[in-house]
Amino acid sequence: MSELPVAASELIAKIESRTAVSGIIGLGYVGLPLAVELAKAGQTVVGIDVSTGKVDLLNKGVSYIQDVPAAEVAELVRAGKLSATTDFKAISQMDTINICVPTPLRKTKDPDMSYIDAACREIALHMKPGTLVILESTTYPGTTDEFVLPMLEQHGLKAGQDFFLCFSPERVDPGNPTYQTKNIPKVVGGITPACTAVAQRFYSLALDRVVPVGSTKAAEMVKLLENTFRMINIGLVNEMALMCDRMGINVWEVIDAAATKPFGFMPFYPGPGLGGHCIPIDPFYLSWKTKQAGIEARFIELAGYINGQMPHFVVSKVQNALNDAGKAVKGSKILVLGVSYKRDIDDMRESPAIDIMLLLEKLGAEVSYSDPFVPALKVDGQTWKSTDLDAALTAADCAVIVTDHRAFDYAKIGGKARLIVDTRNAMKGLAPEKVIRL
């Protein structure tokens, strides 16, 4: 690579001497873990968030993210390495800025860029020359070049010379005890080779491995490929579950047997629907973008439809199970076990449990839930509170296992519940006479 611009060399020197100030815009599931890792590596980190609640908690040394240890946050705050503010003027003091804001889909399945837009406007207004800006929010290929770059260059600064712009996809997996921010390889692609080089040195300070790619578009596509791969394979196995259900075949037995093949097969498992911020949403960024290029993303659209139907399939299993027991859904007491989108976390984003509960209520059921990680939840103005499991199991006409938390005693559930619809195969080998599997 050719010699780096002077501004790049100066910024790298500040990063490696730990004199750079690193900013994180958005202190959620992506931003806070990254802020903590950078601070642990010796950087001074300032987080910016519009939520005064998050900012106040962080400045008190309190962690509000399950995977971020409270003791680490408290120590970093005490040491002056980590702080937070709601004031975007702090950008003027920052040498590096990571954008970690939400990127939801609108109801029309097109990207909602309002959070990225707001962050970039503030950066353009306050950014000093020589700053490294990295977008981590998942979005469509071309966002960094086509959307972010013009905003940051509008006041005369040139990317690759006066400031440095990259995309690096977040790969956070909430609740994963093995792979977290520090040891998940970090992909990064810049507007120019100099941009990539600066970002690579920046991340290498705190993270175990950095993987450079040749462009921001390639880096953006990496994230979408990863999650589209999972979404389509989950859609395939969910469709297989629908087929097996009609043919009276145990889909779980089929998957376990297929998984014994030592090559050419990777097991995926059916479930009540997709949850979390990434897998239900990210592929539709790609689908939306390809439509702009005149290409129809058929696999994505079909898998999205199948996965979206799974809550309805779960409800139909509940209906049939109750019918076979001589009961109607209307008036029945139904207990949902687990409402977070996956096992052993408190994350409710896009959780299929919400759809299942609302659909059952619409049919006239009396719905309650129990979840050790989610004490209360609000949906459409309605508030549910987690109920005592033992009492609720005894009273329920049907228990529906939506999230298979390890904290649940499944043998006890099998002994107390009258009827169980199990969407996760959590009751494998237990109480077969009363368990209806997906």
- Spatial distance between the Cα atoms of 182 and 207, rounded to a whole number of angstroms: 5
Predicted model pTM: 0.90
Residues designated catalytic: 278
> Of all helices (H) and strands (E), which one includes residue 165?
strand 164-167
pLDDT at 223 over 70: yes
- The pairing of beta strand 382-385 with beta strand 398-401: unpaired
Q: What is the pLDDT averaged over residues 182-203?
A: 97
- At 226, the pLDDT band (50, 70, 90 cuts) reads very high
**pLDDT score recorded for residue 297:** 83
- Spatial distance between the Cα atoms of 347 and 365, rounded to a whole number of angstroms: 25
Q: What is the pLDDT averaged over residues 226-248?
A: 95
Q: What is the pLDDT averaged over residues 91-111?
A: 88
> Of all helices (H) and strands (E), which one includes residue 166?
strand 164-167
Identity at 361, one-letter amino acid code = E
- Spatial distance between the Cα atoms of 329 and 146, rounded to a whole number of angstroms: 51
**pLDDT score recorded for residue 191:** 97
- At 84, the pLDDT band (50, 70, 90 cuts) reads very high
Ordered structural domains, the chain, with CATH: 6-214 (3.40.50.720), 230-437 (3.40.50.720)
Q: What is the pLDDT averaged over residues 20-24?
A: 98
Q: What is the pLDDT averaged over residues 120-125?
A: 97
Q: What is the pLDDT averaged over residues 128-136?
A: 97
Q: What is the pLDDT of residues 245-290, one digit of tens each?
A: 999 999 999 999 999 999 999 999 999 998 876 767 777 888 888 8
Q: What is the pLDDT averaged over residues 68-92?
A: 97
- At 2, the pLDDT band (50, 70, 90 cuts) reads low
- Say which residue the tokens 């600066």 belong to: 198
pLDDT at 421 over 70: yes
Select from 372, 366, 402, 406 the least CA-distant residue to 389. 372
pLDDT at 1 over 60: no
- At 194, the pLDDT band (50, 70, 90 cuts) reads very high
Choose between 139 and 194: higher pLDDT.
194
DSSP 271: -
- At 98, the pLDDT band (50, 70, 90 cuts) reads very high
- Spatial distance between the Cα atoms of 415 and 419, rounded to a whole number of angstroms: 10
Phi, psi dihedral angles at 247 (to 5 degrees): -95, 5
Q: Where are the beta strands (DSSP E) in 320-419?
A: 333-337, 366-370, 376-379, 382-385, 398-401
Q: What is the pLDDT averaged over residues 149-156?
A: 95
Q: Where are the beta strands (DSSP E) in 7-118?
A: 21-25, 44-48, 82-85, 96-99
**pLDDT score recorded for residue 275:** 84
**pLDDT score recorded for residue 41:** 96
Q: What is the pLDDT averaged over residues 351-377?
A: 96
Percent of the chain scoring above 90 in pLDDT: 83
